[in-house]
Homo-oligomer: A and B are copies of this chain.
């Protein structure tokens, strides 16, 4: 049998497009949503907020971009250069514009003259949170939780529905002492499992690693697994194929604390953790497991998603 995504037709994406749930654009991994899918996605966020009510999270909202200087400082280009996106723009005069249009009309590459702007795409919703919190000074004694939802970009063009280039991530981020952030992650491992149960999704929680670049990345992946810094809740979405990570539970140690000069109330460098909900993946998992018509999903699932 062909491995998932390599030869096998992207059945799920075709089914979802046929049902009007997703709206293809012609660019792999860049799809729109019809109203029915959007309602499911919004319902997942409401459900996650309910399960996280005890966090008393402070909501923040950011555009899908961060300053390019933040991307540079974050360490992302060291670990995931292949996934990052930077926004480039035309800065020329009318003569340069005529050149651009000549290339465009001739079907040639016109993008050579595009220059890097001050913006980069958000790689994960939580990226703007750390510098924003650092700008406030030391954290409160109990630490702080921030909730955030935004579109993210990762450059891995594919028709595989769980490898979107543009996807939406809802996160709760905890900043505080090591004990506080570990307790937060432990609580969310239980809450995430309860959410998946409520949604009627078969699932398992696994130790995982991020997709670090290159050979040195293998060492980083191994270290991340040995220290159990990342767990994923996986659900069957592509069949055949391995299950898909739909939630992740990440302990960053003091990486973002050091990077952004984030301090606990005590003055010690802050530790951070986050729980992330892949909204598109969770919605696709629901469609795969309960069928292409959300109006016919089990009443309990619809109620959990505020659809009923």
Contact = CB atoms under 8 A, between A and B. Distances in A.
Interface stretch (A3-11, A77-85, A227-235, A294-302): A77-85
Q: Looking at chain A, what size class is its interface with the partner chain?
A: 35 or more
A116 interface: yes
Would you call the interface of chain A mostly helix, strand, loop, or mixed? mixed
Interface stretch (A28-36, A195-203, A240-248, A249-257): A28-36
Interface stretch (A66-74, A179-187, A264-272, A284-292): A66-74
A294 to B, nearest CB: 15
A65 B153 CA distance: 10
Contacts of A114: 86, 88, 116
Contacts of A131: 25-26
B117 A85 contact: yes
Contacts of A69: 26-27
Given A33-B61, A78-B101, A97-B81, A28 B118 contact: yes
Contacts of A166: 63-65, 119
Contacts of A28: 118
A303 interface: no
Contact of A87 (B97, B153, B213, B216): B153
A89 B97 contact: no
Given A86-B111, A114-B116, 8 more contacts: A23-B60, A25-B66, A26-B131, A27-B69, A81-B97, A85-B117, A86-B114, A87-B87
